[in-house]
Structure 1
């Protein structure tokens, strides 16, 4: 009835008369009314936004097909560029619309004129993991031609294993990585270190760092964060001090690393984080950037290692007051810290009140 009322209103306002010559136009208006009333688009929809990106982003329901939109776009005589498809796929991934992003990826593969890069294959592995599961991503990787089995695709599959905490699978793939003649950066090793930290096998982290160094790969700040955190988990203060000294003499040291070192040294100097130091550090930093959050994640991990729930509460409350938007990693860090201390109620409260993206 609502559709009929809206249609009659449109008909009256536009001076329609019930004739065959206007039948097609009235049906189009009725379809538009249904589309608007369904919530698929806002009431201020205009045709001037009718480009490929807009058409695909208007597909809110996963069951709707981005492939059909692409086919129709091409049949209308429009062109499609690989850079445009990549940008759309990235935007869909950021919005967690993985099924539509995967369809864009599939289009790029089935149309050979769009040459795929290593990053395109890696993205597809990640999307297949999210949409169809790791088994599908694994089969896709194994079926890739040798030339497409690059450091990026290996790392993408390793990331999938690590995210699912599939230690055995990850270690098998990691061995293949080490046996290959490919060059890998710190990200690949960080994936293994993250896995070991997440499953509680912190004793394996230093060996990954050693392998990284043997292959002349430069560790990044995340490598050091994971390495130091593994030592902090066992309260190995001497090793933490040695790592910090190595960082301070590293060729890649920069302002963010200096900040990290200063925070970590608070822990090392007294072998315990006292009350005065952390409050001032957290509360005075109101303009920190996302790249600098790693230092505060680290501080939270250290307090968890010391069993200090009060300090966790204080730092977390201070950081929530900053202007920087928190992401999954920040929430994962504080949740892991509370779980380490056995404070399940705090985790539940954080999930409810914070409405995290986990």
Structure 2
């Protein structure tokens, strides 16, 4: 479980230079060699070597591209064959690559279809690692029913569940709010010698409780851990602290920090620190945020880039732009390079505030620093332009995205569909909805709600009703059974 919390360092706030644009000229120096002073034979040799090197690089690039295209074609071919029942002698590498690709992209329907195809192959041998990967994916996709069916298939394949398999199943149930099943699975684990729940299992369970705001169950989990002699780790405490902080339960958050320190085995770290300042900063309690920033500094915990990103976001949300700028200056002086996340936060902050000029300035700075804008960047720009009624600017962003290799996701399409919907351009909105399907971006409730609202606002009742039916159909199809198993 990869939780992120952070730590501290003293800051001296500087003046409002952040608000005054500064330009820096970047000079590129090129060195040239006077070839006329070299013997002719050396000049020719150097030229030939350069040409050979260039041709070799081109051949290598073409070779790599060809290999990638062949792999992608093989994966797509396997996905097509997965829907058939007649293929049982496929090449192992192609099937396994297709399965890993589907799992890596959390395309759970495709992954289960390919896994079903895998089980039909004459060379297939059941492996618990494969089941663990699939269960973790189903957990991420909130598919507890599929996870339960997959677990049954694993048993039918003659495999004994491992600790990792059981823990993934606990997570799948817990993150979907099925806590009765999650706790029953933990109880079942206690009866199996090699699968007894450990601190990681319980930390996963606590994480599920915090994410779904079932804070009433946390004390029960901690009591059970104590009874079994399982001590909390930093991850356990940080999970609890982060959960309480995000829910605004500050007293419980601070109490958990006290428990962490008094345990004698766990000390606060940068993750703990970031949870604290993030919790107070997100709620606009700037004084408390700064107080705890200093407190963690006294504990000897130093900040990282995420710490500064939290401070920038908190000050920006509170409209304290001078302090926001001071943080960036401080980062520069201490050799903390701003990341794409840092600049995305600044762009979003100024965009939300309606300061288009400042937003565009930092967008250009991002490009000049060699950072590649991502979907988060473009979403912020589109939202700001839409709010300001600058639809031509939205068109410009769409052209930039089309000419880039940015992988578009559902949130981006939701953002740009909303922009054209609010402007009453339902034709463009429909085109984007179609493109969304073409790119295999799954429409969610926000997509449908945005479009239905736009159609209703323009009196296009029939179109809105068609979308409602499509939305209901999409929900029904998501409940498919485990194919071929």
Same fold (TM over 0.5): yes
Task: Please list every run of 5 or more consecutive structure 1 residues that lacks an aligned counterpart in the other structure.
Answer: 1-32, 304-308, 332-348
Alpha carbons 1:203, 1:230 under 8 Å: kept: no
Q: 1:173 to 1:316 in 2, by over 3 A?
A: farther
TM-aligned CA deviation for residue 188 of structure 1: 1.8
Q: Could you say which structure has the greater relative contact order, defined with CA pairs below 8 angstroms and 6 or more residues apart?
A: 2
Other-structure match for 1:157: 205
**Distance (whole Å) between structure 1 residues aligned to residue 110 and residue 176 of structure 2:** 11
Q: 1:111 to 1:152 in 2, by over 3 A?
A: farther
Other-structure match for 1:174: 222
Aligned residue-pair number: 282
Alpha carbons 1:126, 1:160 under 8 Å: kept: yes
Other-structure match for 1:78: 124
Q: Supply the RMSD in Å over aligned alpha carbons.
A: 5.4
Other-structure match for 1:122: 167
Q: Does 1:141 align with 2:192?
A: no
TM-score of the aligned structures, taking structure 1 as reference length: 0.55
Task: Please list every run of 5 or more consecutive structure 2 residues that lacks an aligned counterpart in the other structure.
Answer: 1-76, 381-410, 418-442, 447-485
Alpha carbons 1:55, 1:69 under 8 Å: kept: no
Other-structure match for 1:275: 321
Other-structure match for 1:225: 274
Q: 1:353 to 1:276 in 2, by over 3 A?
A: same
**Distance (whole Å) between structure 1 residues aligned to residue 139 and residue 130 of structure 2:** 14
TM-score of the aligned structures, taking structure 2 as reference length: 0.43
Please identify the structure whose Cα radius of gyration is greater.
2
Output one character per residue of 1:87-146: Cα deviation in whole Å (capped at 9) or x when no partner.
4555565666666565555555666755623x4322111123356833322221222216
Secondary structure class of the residue paired with 2:268:
coil
Other-structure match for 1:51: 95
**Distance (whole Å) between structure 2 residues aligned to residue 240 and residue 86 of structure 1:** 40
TM-aligned CA deviation for residue 82 of structure 1: 3.5
Alpha carbons 1:189, 1:212 under 8 Å: kept: yes
Alpha carbons 2:244, 2:250 under 8 Å: kept: yes
**Distance (whole Å) between structure 1 residues aligned to residue 144 and residue 363 of structure 2:** 31
Q: 1:140 to 1:212 in 2, by over 3 A?
A: same
Output one character per residue of 1:136-158: Cα deviation in whole Å (capped at 9) or x when no partner.
22221222216622111112222
Q: 1:90 to 1:265 in 2, by over 3 A?
A: closer
**Distance (whole Å) between structure 2 residues aligned to residue 64 and residue 176 of structure 1:** 35
**Distance (whole Å) between structure 1 residues aligned to residue 305 and residue 300 of structure 2:** 16
Alpha carbons 1:197, 1:205 under 8 Å: kept: yes
Other-structure match for 2:353: 310
**Distance (whole Å) between structure 1 residues aligned to residue 177 and residue 322 of structure 2:** 49
Other-structure match for 1:25: none
> Aligned to 1:353, which of 405, 415, 420?
415
Alpha carbons 2:138, 2:172 under 8 Å: kept: no
